């Protein structure tokens, strides 16, 4: 069980995008990929245009679900596609909240890009202006689940069984280990180096 949970945790640190599911006021669903970052409490952050369909949905219904998975997994009709499922409540963050989060989000992007061998170039976009058409969102998870690698506990031969998982200990351990390796960047560095999608204000 421990190895499986650690693998799910590493999936978070190596992934760039999550699939975000929202609904509008009439219950019509919508799914969109968004680039994300996490803080030390395993809350998910992304930035989107206020007029995007999922942003409009969240203003009507702040409940959302997400999934994160490795798209390079071997396909197969009966092969369980391992990944994370989560659901929770989404909040819109103001400028002060976003600026306070920059050190944490900057660390996350550095860890992710280093793990994937990606060289992030400083953005030439001035994201510190008065553009109020973008907003940063935070999803606080209430439920997290994944596919049990042992299959269904009561149905022999059924390989796909989604079960609740608790990543708290594994994620906290991995986050602390990475935080000890390199000190956080200064705010003025982060405001230049975070991608425009995460620096909308």
Question: Can you tell me the distance from the alpha carbon of 85 to that of 145, in angstroms, rounded to the nearest whole number?
Answer: 5
Which residue did the predictor score with more confidence, 150 or 134? 134
pLDDT computed for residue 56 by the predictor: 97
- Confirm if 167 and 5 have CB atoms less than 8 A apart: yes
Q: For the stretch 144-162, what's the b/e string if a residue is b when 16 or more beta carbons lie within 10 angstroms of its beta carbon?
A: bebbbeeeeeeeeeeeeee
pLDDT-derived band at 140, boundaries 50, 70, 90 = very high
12-63 pLDDT, tens digit each: 998 999 999 999 999 999 999 999 999 999 999 999 999 999 999 999 999 9
Residue 119 pLDDT > 80, yes or no?
no
Closest-CA residue to 67 (of 28, 104, 15, 118)? 15
Using alpha carbons, select from 39, 34, 74 the residue that is nearest to residue 176.
39
CA–CA distance, 170 with 63 (Å, rounded to integer): 26
The predicted pLDDT at position 145 comes to 93
pLDDT at 4 (0 to 100) = 86
**77-81 own/partner pairs: CB under 8 Å, 24+ apart:** 78/159, 78/160, 80/147, 80/149, 80/159, 80/160, 81/147
Report pLDDT for 52. Answer: 96
Higher-pLDDT residue of 166, 192: 166
- Which residue bears the tokens 């976009």? 125
Residue 103 has pLDDT above 50, yes or no: yes
Looking at residue 25, its pLDDT comes to 93
- Whether the CB-CB separation of 15 and 41 falls below 8 Å is answered with no
- β-partners of residue 21 are 31, 65
Q: Which CATH architecture has domain 2-94+134-183?
A: Roll (2.30)
pTM: 0.80
The closest alpha carbon to 128, from 66, 199, 186, belongs to 199
Q: How confident is the model at residue 115 (pLDDT cuts 50, 70, 90)?
A: confident
**DSSP letter (8 states) at residue 70:** -
Domain ranges of the chain: 2-94+134-183
Kindly tell me if the per-residue pLDDT of 198 is higher than 70. no
pLDDT of 185 reads 42
CA 32 to CA 28: how far, in whole Å? 14
């Amino acid at each position: 069980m421990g190895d499986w949970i650690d693998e799910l945790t590493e999936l978070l640190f190596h992934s760039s995008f999550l699939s975000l599911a929202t609904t509008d006021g009439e219950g019509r669903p919508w799914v969109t990929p968004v680039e994300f970052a996490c803080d030390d409490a395993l809350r998910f952050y992304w930035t989107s245009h206020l007029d995007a369909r999922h942003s409009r949905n969240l203003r009507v219904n702040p409940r959302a679900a997400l999934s994160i998975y490795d798209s390079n997994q071997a396909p197969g009709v009966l092969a369980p596609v391992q990944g994370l499922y989560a659901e929770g409540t989404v909040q819109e963050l103001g400028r002060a909240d976003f600026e306070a989060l920059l050190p944490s989000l900057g660390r996350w992007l550095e860890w992710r890009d280093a793990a994937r061998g990606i060289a992030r170039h400083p953005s030439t976009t001035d994201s510190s202006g008065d553009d109020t058409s973008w907003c940063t969102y935070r999803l606080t998870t209430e439920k997290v689940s994944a596919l049990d690698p042992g299959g269904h506990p009561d149905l022999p031969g059924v390989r796909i069984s989604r079960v609740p998982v608790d990543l708290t200990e594994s994620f906290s351990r991995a986050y602390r280990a990475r935080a000890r390796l390199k000190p956080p960047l200064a705010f003025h560095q982060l405001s230049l180096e975070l991608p425009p999608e995460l620096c909308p204000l």
